[in-house]
Structure 1
Amino acid sequence: MDKDPHSVIINVSKQRRFSVEEKKEKIRNFSAVTPKRTHNRVVSKPSEATLKVYAIPENKPLPVFQLKNDSTFLSYKFYSKIQDYHRHRKQLAIPIQNKHKILSTDYRQRLHVDFSTEKIKTILDIDEDFYKCINGRIFKHEQGAQYKSLKINFNEKLHIKQQVGHIRDCALNIELNQKKELEIYNNALRQVTDQAKYFDQFISEDYRKSMILLEQGDKLIAEVDKIKTELQNLAGETFFITSKLIGLDYRYGLLQKYGRFLYYLSPPSWRAGNRDFARSVEIEAKGFDLGVSSEEDTFTVIYEKLRKECLKFVKPALYFTEPKHLMDVFERIEQQQLNHFTHVSHFSPYTKMLNESIKRLEDNVAEESVLVSETITYFKELVEFSEQRCLFLEQKFFKILHGLFYESVGTKDVLKLFFHLEFCYEKVYAEKPINKDMIAVAESLEAFYLDYSKRLDALRSEAVDRAVNICLETERSQARNAIKAAKELRLFNQLERNLLRAHGLPPKITPPVLPITQIKQAKKSSKPGPNFKE
């Protein structure tokens, strides 16, 4: 190949010692000089700063279930459980974005691959146009397969040489590598031994402290139990004393009420001689309202009241000194109650009759009041209806008076007709002698009749007929609305009567405003005749 003008010479430096750092440095320099032919996807290794920010602490203690002699490592078990709990809480507190960054960083760290030292680039890889020109001429694409096989053979040859050199280098550096590995192993063993020693010291010290804390806790629990027992005994004694004081206060109150009762049973002469005692205990001031008080009967109030009573104790004055005196009093009371019972049983029928009469009287009064109220309501409605009808008739009368009546009676033509009729009457009956011929009277009467008929025909025009039809239609609509209103009122009256019956009250009877005959006549008169023309 040295004599071949197209041969390629590559100087590959042979490594005498196997060192990872030197190999990485040479690969870095070589990759900086020669650009890459193909961009292979290589996962980059994350930086140390990224690992510090997003990585979870790796100080993982031993799991609890792998420990032996649980009684010996009892404190360490609690310590590891607490550490697991805090680590779990810390992982839960990490947001979802940081969790994604942590996982991606972990994957990048595990998928990182160093650049291979066996990859060697030749001039064929560096110069892309090497096969395109031969002696200044561009060759065709069909001739590229030969040169491609040549390139593959060159690459295989160079790879074989590199592997042989690498194997020789490793064989020459076996002793040096063994020494380095022994040093690394000894350092690691020493560090592990130191860590195990420190761990044993930590476990023993922690166990000793745990035992001390447990002893202190047992002592504290014993003291707390002792104080708790004392407090329970004190609470029991306090409750017993409180219940005794409340019972004594209740019995003292009963005795005071009983003593006041006996005081009022004593004769007035004896009470007059013992006024000082009555004033001292306020018998006449309070009477039998001894237990009635606006204050709450709390323990403090009861205690203060008993303390005051004990400080100023007054010896009571007794009228009844023997039991037979009290028996006589009770016998008299019994006799008095018996007499009262006899009188009550004697008058019980009369009392029963009186109560029944009072009840019937109340029922009658209620019924009469209902009837009176209904009558008053009926008359009120009748008065209102009469007032409305009166106003309507008054308006109708004045309308007729100022309208049709005046036009029919007070006009000039009506007066002229009246005079003509009077003249005709006088002429026929000859009550008053007049100097006028009968033919002239007839002619004047005929002329007036014709003129009056002409005026009446003029009044019967279309406007008058239209007005009459509108008036009739208005009256009919009012009649229909009145019929509907009457139906609604009947339904309301029926509902009201049903409600009154349901509540046990007599039904409300409301007679019609007009008699039934007048209502029927009004209905008949409101209907138009068969010959009526609208």
Structure 2
Amino acid sequence: KHLPSHEYQSGEFVTDNDLVETLNIDKMIEVAKRELQNPYPAHLYFKRPQQMLYLFRSMELQSREYLLQLSKTDVPYRLLRERIKQLKYTTQKELDYFQYYIDFLNNEIDREIHNENHLKEKFFRILNSMFYDGVASPSTLKLKICIEYVYEQIFGRCEEGHQSLQDPMKILEVMYEDYNLRLDSLDFSIVNQARNDFFAQDLKTMTNALKAQREL
């Protein structure tokens, strides 16, 4: 049975004022009485029984087709679910392995960074202490200047291309030992004569310097 709507009549929607009027109880009762006295005709969707039978037959065939498709796809569906389960398990194992490998590499990186910092600290400590004291300290520079002076000015050696300070030091050591051997082989009287000559020359130099000071 078709019941008319109170909000849509004559093809037009009612306005707010019309809705307010429909809230009147007495008016609503009168409309209901008129509908009961003169009801609207019922609309039949099926005019023949064969139409309903055809509809139910179509629904039956459709349901049977669904059941057939379900029976055909049940085994593949179960296999698919099993494959999905296995894939999830395998994927999780691979993820765990990769996570373990990533953690291992991170630990190795941290260890190498720690070793790098330790070696860097040790390098600069040696550079600023032992290396500086042995190469660039004031006492080392004085020793180098002294050795070069003795090597070049006293002994008259002017070779170039020394790789380190040890080369002229070794040569000076050999020359010093050679001079000692020569001095040991000299006659003692000759040594005394040379010493006396040296002292006499030194005394003469001091006397001349004293005379020059008095004259000034």
TM-score, length of structure 2 as denominator length:
0.49
Determine which structure has more spread, i.e. the larger CA radius of gyration. 1
Q: Does 1 or 2 have the higher relative contact order (CA < 8 Å, sep 6+)?
A: 1
TM-score, length of structure 1 as denominator length:
0.22
Higher helix share: 2
